Amino acid sequence: MSDTPRDAQREYSDALREYLARPNEPALRRAYEIGRLTLTEGLGVLGIAALHHQALKDVIPEMSVDVEESLLIKRAEEVLIESLMPFEMSHRAFREAITVLRRMNERIEEEAKRIAHALHQEAGGLLASTHLALEELARDLSPEGTERLSLVKALLDQMSEQLRQLAHEIRPSVLDDLGLVPALQFLAEGVSKRSGVPITIEGSTDGRLSSTVETTLYRNVQEALNNVIRHAKAATVHVIVTRETGAVSCSIRDDGQGYELSTVLASHEERGLGHVGMRERLDPLHGTLLITSSPGHGTELVMHIPIEC
């Protein structure tokens, strides 16, 4: 491999040569440090494989014949294990980080649920009481006063509608109560009404999925639909939810102008199209995102999330 530094190769070959001839701790330490350095300098585990392979090719022919082959193989393995150990640590840390992220995501959704509920129920309740108090006040007012009061009521109604909308956007209660597909239908209706683009929702989750999976799919469809409306100039959008064995997938297909994937992915616009956010939501669930698009042929996003049975 050309991207492994030369002195790392020399160092690794030296350590292996020394250890094959006579097992000793300093040689193992050297192998460990080479692995550590390789990791911190951003070279991958394949770099170590290449170092090890090249070192074997360098060192084995030089070996005197008096060491048994099986013993040599065992010693070479010990050197390799040392150089891979930093990668093992790193791997474990990343796995743990993913678990932490997943839990954090769940907490954020819980919090969103709480805030949405407070907005809808508590603030909504206060508004209702305000309406009642105004009714009472209206009885004592002149016709002119009543008219002015109706203006206040109209404003209150607007506010109430905004609160309801906001609560829904933060956390759609229909998602918790009825599940993914009804929530998507509800979402699609709202987006259609606002944009004038017809959106169909098809398919089924075949029973409820875990709250995290449902939320992830919902948020990603929400983001995808927003993208379509904002950028795609589409005439129609189709969303299909499919339950497979051990997985659920969801596709969002539009007949809009499409785009050249390579150019969008190369520039930082990918961020603007929300794919980064979608991937970030899918990652903790080991989900994947597949994007198919070309100018003039619309765009299809397919999300795939494995589900433990």
Question: CA–CA separation, 56 vs 286, rounded Å?
Answer: 36
Element of type H or E holding 292: strand 288-293
CB of 79 to other proteins, least distance (A): 10
Contacts with other proteins, 23-42, as mask; x by CB under 8 A: --xx-xx--x---x--xx--
- In the bound state with other proteins, the residue whose beta carbon lies nearer, of 28 and 167, is 28
Query: What is the 3-state secondary structure of 177-213?
Result: HHCHHHHHHHHHHHHHHHHCCCEEEEECCCCCCCHHH
- Residue in 90, 173, 211, 288 binding other proteins, rule: CB under 8 A: 90
- In the bound state with other proteins, the residue whose beta carbon lies nearer, of 89 and 133, is 89
Number of residues forming the site for other proteins (CB under 8 A):
23
Strand, helix or coil at 306? Answer: strand
169 belongs to the binding site for other proteins (CB under 8 A): no
208 belongs to the binding site for other proteins (CB under 8 A): no
- Answer whether 58's CB lies under 8 Å from 13's CB: yes
Task: Render 29-96 in DSSP notation, one character per residue.
Answer: HHHHHHHHHHHHTT--HHHHHHHHHHHHHHHGGGS-TTS-HHHHHHHHHHHHHHHHHHHHHHHHHHHH
236 belongs to the binding site for other proteins (CB under 8 A): no
CB of 268 to other proteins, least distance (A): 23
- In the bound state with other proteins, the residue whose beta carbon lies nearer, of 85 and 178, is 85
97 belongs to the binding site for other proteins (CB under 8 A): yes
CB of 96 to other proteins, least distance (A): 7
Strand, helix or coil at 239? Answer: strand
91 belongs to the binding site for other proteins (CB under 8 A): yes
237 belongs to the binding site for other proteins (CB under 8 A): no
- In the bound state with other proteins, the residue whose beta carbon lies nearer, of 25 and 144, is 25
86 belongs to the binding site for other proteins (CB under 8 A): yes
98 belongs to the binding site for other proteins (CB under 8 A): no
Backbone conformation region of residue 179, classed left if phi is above 0, alpha if psi is from -120 to 50, else beta: left
Tokens of 112: 């969103």
Question: CA–CA separation, 83 vs 143, rounded Å?
Answer: 88
- In the bound state with other proteins, the residue whose beta carbon lies nearer, of 36 and 219, is 36
Question: CA–CA separation, 301 vs 290, rounded Å?
Answer: 6
Question: CA–CA separation, 170 vs 117, rounded Å?
Answer: 9
- Residue in 3, 62, 96, 269 binding other proteins, rule: CB under 8 A: 96
Interface segment toward other proteins; rule CB under 8 A; list 77-85, 169-177, 236-244, 297-305: 77-85
- Residue in 82, 109, 214, 254 binding other proteins, rule: CB under 8 A: 82
- Residue in 62, 88, 169, 206 binding other proteins, rule: CB under 8 A: 88
Within residues 273-302, the interface with other proteins by CB under 8 A covers none
Strand-pairing partners, residue 201, are 239
78 belongs to the binding site for other proteins (CB under 8 A): yes
Query: Which of 247, 185, 182, 177 minimizes the C-alpha distance to 211?
Result: 177
Residues of this chain that interact with other proteins (CB under 8 A) are 25-26, 28-29, 32, 36, 39-40, 77-78, 81-82, 85-86, 88-94, 96-97
